[in-house]
Structure 1
Amino acid sequence: MSTVGFLYPGFSAEDDYPRAEKLLTDGSRLALVHTEMPEDAHREDALLAIGGDEVLADGARRVAAEAGPLDAVVWACTSGSFIFGPEGAARQVAALERVSGVPTSSTSFAFVDACRRLGIRSVAVGATYPPDVAGAFVHFLTHHDISVHTLSARDIITAAEVGTLPPETVLEFAAAVASDAPGADAVLLPDTALHTVDVLDALDARVGRPVLTANQVSIWQGLRVAGADVDRPGLGTLFRRG
Structure 2
Amino acid sequence: MMLGWRAKIGQIRPATAIEGAEEWRSVQVPGVAYADARTIVPRVDKDGLQVMMSQVLEASRQLETSKVDLIVQCGAPGTFLEGPDADDRVTRQILEAVGIPAITMHASTVKGLQVVGAKTVALATIYTEDVNQVLAENLEYHGIRVTSIEGLEMTDPYQASLHDIDSAYRLGRAAYRKSGGADATLISCGTYRTFGMLRYLEMDTGAPVITSNQATLWNAFRTLGLPDQIPDLGALWSAA
Which segment drifts farther, 207-216 or 87-96? 87-96
Whole-Å separation in 1 of the counterparts to 2:231 and 2:74: 22
Find the partner of 1:148 among 146, 168, 175.
146
Q: Structure 1's 36 and 154: CA in aligned 2 closer, same or farther, altered over 3 A?
A: closer
Contact preservation (8 Å) 2:12, 2:60: yes
Whole-Å separation in 2 of the counterparts to 1:225 and 1:100: 18
Number of residue-to-residue matches in the alignment:
235
Contact preservation (8 Å) 2:109, 2:210: yes
2:127 is aligned to 129
Aligned amino acid, residue 184 of structure 2: A
Unpaired runs of 5+ residues, structure 1, are none
2:40 is aligned to 36
Q: CA RMSD in A?
A: 1.8
1:7 is aligned to 12
Contact preservation (8 Å) 2:64, 2:100: no
**Structural mapping, 1:1-242, within 5 Å:** 1-12=6-17, 14-37=18-41, 39=42, 41-52=43-54, 55-65=55-65, 68-241=66-239
Q: Structure 1's 72 and 187: CA in aligned 2 closer, same or farther, altered over 3 A?
A: same
Whole-Å separation in 2 of the counterparts to 1:3 and 1:241: 24
Cα displacement (A) at 1:126: 0.9
Whole-Å separation in 1 of the counterparts to 2:28 and 2:228: 10
Contact preservation (8 Å) 2:19, 2:191: no
Query: Deviations 1:27-61 (Å, cap 9, x if unpaired)?
Result: 21232221233x1x121111112112xx1111111
Query: Deviations 1:183-217 (Å, cap 9, x if unpaired)?
Result: 31111011112111232222322332111111111
Unpaired runs of 5+ residues, structure 2, are 1-5
Cα displacement (A) at 1:118: 1.3
Contact preservation (8 Å) 2:10, 2:34: yes
Match of 2:179, SS state, is: coil
Contact preservation (8 Å) 2:94, 2:100: no
The TM-score normalised by the length of structure 2 is: 0.90
2:3 is aligned to none
The percentage of aligned residue pairs carrying the same residue is 21
Query: Deviations 1:209-229 (Å, cap 9, x if unpaired)?
Result: 111111111211212212214
Cα displacement (A) at 1:180: 0.7
Aligned amino acid, residue 218 of structure 2: W
Cα displacement (A) at 1:151: 1.7
Contact preservation (8 Å) 2:9, 2:33: yes
Contact preservation (8 Å) 1:171, 1:206: no
Whole-Å separation in 2 of the counterparts to 1:192 and 1:115: 16
Aligned amino acid, residue 73 of structure 1: I
Aligned amino acid, residue 10 of structure 1: A
The TM-score normalised by the length of structure 1 is: 0.90
Q: Structure 1's 25 and 45: CA in aligned 2 closer, same or farther, altered over 3 A?
A: closer
Cα displacement (A) at 1:114: 0.7
Whole-Å separation in 1 of the counterparts to 2:89 and 2:122: 27
Cα displacement (A) at 1:24: 4.4
